[in-house]
Amino acid sequence: MSFGMRLRREFQESASGGKHIYPKLASLVDPPAIMVSLFSAADIDGFVRSSDLKLNVYQAIDIFEAVLIQAYQPDFQRHYEKQTAAYLKKNGIANPVAVIEAARKLPCE
């Protein structure tokens, strides 16, 4: 999906379809400033390296985005937690949500 399309889905009610980040942003009484950084595909391709795999630019962008989400932990980008909880539950972890909550409290180095 293009950047423009993704941006519309996050900031326009009609484009969001009641999903994504828009409803969360709309519910805020005092919305925070939205900080944005843009990276060119060439820059991202230079940041993401693999020794054994040949990644195309789209794969590199997906990896770069995932790393930034993990590093900055933005409040409205916690959808990966649901995926992780489902994976843990599938693998026999009794209370995956508690495991994720405990992991969030671990100090980062």
* pLDDT surpasses 60 at 4: yes
* pLDDT surpasses 70 at 77: no
> Domain segments of the chain: what residues?
1-36, 40-75, 78-109
pLDDT on residue 78: 66
pLDDT on residue 83: 77
Buried b (16+ CB within 10 A) or exposed e, 38-51: eeeeeebbeebeee
Average pLDDT over every residue of 19-43 = 81
Instruction: For residue 45, give both structure tokens.
Output: 């391709």
Please state, rounded to an integer, the average pLDDT across all residues of the chain.
78
* pLDDT surpasses 70 at 79: no
61 compared with 35, residue with greater pLDDT:
61
pLDDT on residue 106: 65
pLDDT on residue 43: 92
Give how far the C-alpha of residue 56 lies from the chain's centroid of Cα atoms, to the nearest Å: 20
Average pLDDT over every residue of 11-16 = 78
